[in-house]
Amino acid sequence: MTSTIVGQNPNRIQNIVIVGGGTSGWLSAAYLSKALNKSGGTPCSITLIESSDICTVGVGEATLPTIIYTLSEFLGIPEPDLMIECNATFKMGTKFVNWSGQPDQNVFWHPFGGEDIFWHPLRQGSLTKELRIPISHYWLKRKLQGNPEPFDYSCFESVHLCAAKKSPKTDGNPKLRYLEYAYHLDAGLLANYLKQKAKSEFVQHIVDNVLDVSLNDKGFISHLITKNNGNIYGDLFIDCSGFKGLLINQTLQEPFISYSDSLFCDNAIAIPIAYDAEDKYDTRNGGINPYTTSTALSSGWAWNTPLVGRSGNGYVYSSAFISKADAEAEFRQHLGEKSLHLEAKHIKMRVGRTRNAWVKNCISIGLSSGFIEPLESTGIYLIEAGLENLLHNFPDRLFQPSCIANYNRIMREQYEEIRDFIVMHYCLTKREDTPFWKANKYHPAIPESLKEKLNLWQITWPDNPTIICREKIAKLFPDYSYTCILAGMGYLPKHSLPILDYYDDNEVEQNFLAFKNHADALKKALPDHHEYIKQLPAKTFKFQWKQRLSSPAL
């Protein structure tokens, strides 16, 4: 039964139906419930339907710093609760091993958080106050002069902290509190946590199979036909059904644009490995890494995402270059003895994007909308981006085409940016030791948008001097992310930024020294990563205890 309050839009969306109970389904449910069902307002009915016969993809454990905004700030989930419930650890970036094909540089890092490495050598001058030049350009100048110090250790404090297995934060010294970070989370536990949260906020949960989908005479989705619960009607449908795209691709026939010409990996194998019994913080190996490791193998790359109690491991490979059996054998060899008797999960990946993520009254979120392999952990980010974008373009039942087009443009740009960034990791390699790496080095189909950028970066790196108050065009990866990959792959311009010739080299040296001293000071002041995580239960306990004490009922 629908009702309308005086002054309210009679076309207000009143029923949202979400298909799918993976990370995207439950994050959508919790997010929309939080955004739409404000106390005192008119509630919107939200129903999530998931099948108990069709599994979730069950991977997706490394995130980007945006997750903090989504889970903690927007959904209001206390960090200690989240970390304990999801066996989570901190992630301050990714370590890339064996990607570049340069014998003297087979490891490089892509850390989070580069903003505070910008220097302001002109900040005293009144006219030039706003000019800032990123440290990467100074590093390049020194490198071209023969200084051997690696880019990442010279420019990012968090790389020093990653290598020393430090926590990005401490409660002991609030001044040191914040270094940018994200989480590694158990994907199954995260979906379950979000499910409990959404259900406690009145999201209706149906466990059933969607057998068919019925369209109205305008081609909009009218209702879902289920096995045991009859017809389920809605105004707005969110397709979170995974790679199959049950509503968006199968029902509404929106085509899928494959990125297989520029990204060759199309399969993955996952083998999680538990740490030794009684050692859930992996102290026997010096504690849990606060970073993801991505190691290039013969026909793709392997991830390692360390959690409390176990690590997530996977091999993302191209079936055009290695068979399923050979890939599994190579992966087990990479993981070592511990993996020998563990079950391997094989996953076929659909890499690319649905042409329009939003069609009529259906919005695809998560794998149904697209996926660009997990190399830079963008899967969950794209769910967050889809939901935020949906709030900005939230429809009524007239489904204004211009709002839909705006949503679709934003999502297309996000996918294309990520695609270009990921292709960069492959096509700049100097490896030629296997057919897969050769094919990447002599890449036949680098997107035009990336070609243009690479041409420019051959002359001058990104991260150009900027005027502080100028608004930057919103994009996922900041300039320094690109520079990390360019430096790591040895894609260096022949000359440093001309403007640097006007500045004092001695001052620059002092700044590099000050930077290193600061990184050392942080290393001393911050706790070990596993020690910080270990004391989380105590913090939660204290929090609950305090709440109980202050409760008027006690």
Q: Which residues contact 35 (CB under 8 A, 6 or more apart)?
A: 391
Minimum CB–partner distance for residue 156 and ligand FAD (Å): 21
* Integer Cα distance of 62 and 183 in angstroms: 6
Q: Is 284 exposed, middle or buried (0-12, 13-18, 19+ CB in 10 A)?
A: exposed
> Least distance (Å) from ligand FAD to the CB of residue 172?
31
Length of the chain equals 554
Q: Which is nearer to ligand FAD, 351 or 522 (CB)?
A: 351
Minimum Å gap between C-beta 365 and ligand FAD is 7
The nearer residue to ligand FAD, 55 or 405, going by C-beta atoms, is: 55
Closest approach, Cβ 293 to ligand FAD, in A, equals 12
Min. distance of Cβ 240 from ligand FAD in angstroms? 5
What distance in Å separates the CA atoms of residue 22 and residue 194, rounded to the nearest whole number? 10
Residue with tokens 């690109």: 482
Contact between 151 and 484 under an 8 Å Cβ cutoff? The reply is: yes
Name the residue nearer to ligand FAD (CB basis): 164 or 269. 269
Q: Which of 34, 38, 91, 360 is catalytic?
A: 91
Which CB atom, from 288 or from 486, has the smaller least distance to ligand FAD?
288
Q: What 3 state SS string does 471-482 have?
A: CCCCCCCCHHHH
Nearer to ligand FAD, 208 or 416 (CB): 208
Contact present, 447 and 416 (Cβ < 8 Å): yes
d(CA 117, CA 132): 10
Q: Are 179 and 157 in contact (CB under 8 A)?
A: yes
91 is catalytic: yes
For residue 113, CA distances in Å to 65, 82, 438 come to: 9, 22, 33
Residue with Cβ nearer ligand FAD (167 or 249): 249
Cβ closest to ligand FAD, residue 24 vs residue 33: 24
CB of 300 to ligand FAD, least distance (A): 11
**503, 121 in Cβ contact below 8 A?**
yes
Q: What is the closest distance, in whole angstroms, from the C-beta atom of residue 442 to ligand FAD in the complex?
A: 26
Helix segments in 165-222, DSSP class H: 187-200
Say if CB 82 and CB 456 are below 8 A apart.
Answer: no
The residues pairing with 48 across neighbouring beta strands, listed in sequence order, are: 18, 205
269 SS3 class: strand
Residue with tokens 């081609």, as numbered in its chain:
219
Q: Which residues bind ligand FAD (CB under 6 A)?
A: 19-25, 49-51, 54, 56-57, 59-63, 187, 209-210, 240-242, 246, 268, 314, 347, 349, 366-367, 374, 377, 379-380, 383
Annotated catalytic residues are 91
